[in-house]
Amino acid sequence: MKKSGKKDEVNALAGLGKVQKFNSRGILMDGNSKTGWQHIDKRHVSGTAATKGTTLFPKHLGEAKIKNLIMESLEKGQLASVNPKDGTMVYKYKPNKYGIDEMTTVVTDNYVIKTSYPTSGKSVITKK
């Protein structure tokens, strides 16, 4: 967590539910429609909230493999950028497995995983 008062830390995580997975670079929370697993699932797994051009994880991957891949993207991926205004970090990772060549994971300044999605690969689906 960002070095701030305990009250700020609690507020940053309020309403995001339980911790699904975590490592030293990020925390995957249950989340909501904009952040965390709920966002990732609806927009990039099931595709129920996906819009035209949104990329989805391959259908053959189950929830557990996708969550593990998201955490792996933070452990082994490269920090591509940090937004100077809000501290959001963008990681790029090339897993080269499951038909995914590259993926992006976005983490807030409080280390909460905001989103994660595949960007290229033979099994990556693009919403039409």
Q: What pLDDT digit, counting tens, does each position of 70-126 carry?
A: 999 999 999 999 999 999 999 999 999 999 999 999 999 999 999 999 999 999 999
| pLDDT score for 106 | 98
Element spanning 120, H or E: strand 113-120
Q: Is the pTM of this model over 0.85?
A: yes
* Residue at 48: amino acid letter: T
Distance in angstroms (rounded) separating the CA atoms of residues 26 and 67: 12
